[in-house]
Chains A and B, each alone.
Chain A
Amino acid sequence: DAKTTQPTSMDCAEGRAANLPCNHSTISGNEYVYWYRQIHSQGPQYIIHGLKNNETNEMASLIITEDRKSSTLILPHATLRDTAVYYCIVRVPPNFGNEKLTFGTGTRLTIIP
């Protein structure tokens, strides 16, 4: 799976949009970009994923650059409950022995009241 680079930590004011960047400059054409988050003491929670087009769901928006070498997760109106570690994962179609999701160190997002 392609390596991803994320900032170690970020702060965002409550009610503002939180924009979390991810670099994945070695991404291949068939690799998807996934975002998960992990709130303290809970299991990882799926947020959104995409291949090349921008995606939006009830939780967030995912903006993928045209060259696919980077992406941004946008939480449009951050709340205190969005404080978590956010993981950007680039995933190849799984083959034998490659079923896992590879979580890096992620970005620790803190929402400030």
Chain B
Amino acid sequence: DAGITQSPRYKITETGRQVTLMCHQTWSHSYMFWYRQDLGHGLRLIYYSAAADITDKGEVPDGYVVSRSKTENFPLTLESATRSQTSVYFCASSRARGARETQYFGPGTRLLVL
């Protein structure tokens, strides 16, 4: 039971570089989410996806791009990394939409932008 995995777990990059964080889930969940967690801000939603080829912005989408060509994968790309994007990034998935639907989180990717 692999569940939801993220790669890499740790990443160091430089300002201006493009970085892609991967998220993979084995449950065939329709919904997938990307959050970032920073001290003083809790978890903030970056983007989410309701199904393959359907994505939408969350609270803090600027500087990020997502795609969802397959149900099980939801990569997050920082097109030109900035120091303010240093954070811990969590991917999550849920079976469907609704207040009853639980979101399950991956282990996180710790990104440092120098």
Interface residues of A (CB under 8 A from B): 30-32, 34, 41-46, 49, 51, 91-94, 97, 99-105
Docked-complex contact B90 and A93, CB < 8 angstroms: no
Interface residues of B (CB under 8 A from A): 31, 33, 35, 42-45, 48, 56, 58-59, 90, 92, 97-100, 102-108
Docked-complex contact A93 and B102, CB < 8 angstroms: no
Q: A32-B100, A93-B98 are in contact. Are A100 and B58 (CB under 8 A)?
A: yes
**B residues in contact with A103, CB < 8 Å:** 42-43
Per DSSP, chain B at the interface is: strand
Docked-complex contact A101 and B99, CB < 8 angstroms: no
Q: A99-B45, A99-B58, A101-B43 are in contact. Are A93 and B99 (CB under 8 A)?
A: yes
From A31, A42, A43, A103, name the one whose CB has the most chain B CB atoms within 10 angstroms: A43
**B residues in contact with A43, CB < 8 Å:** 90, 92, 105-108
**A residues in contact with B43, CB < 8 Å:** 44, 100-101, 103
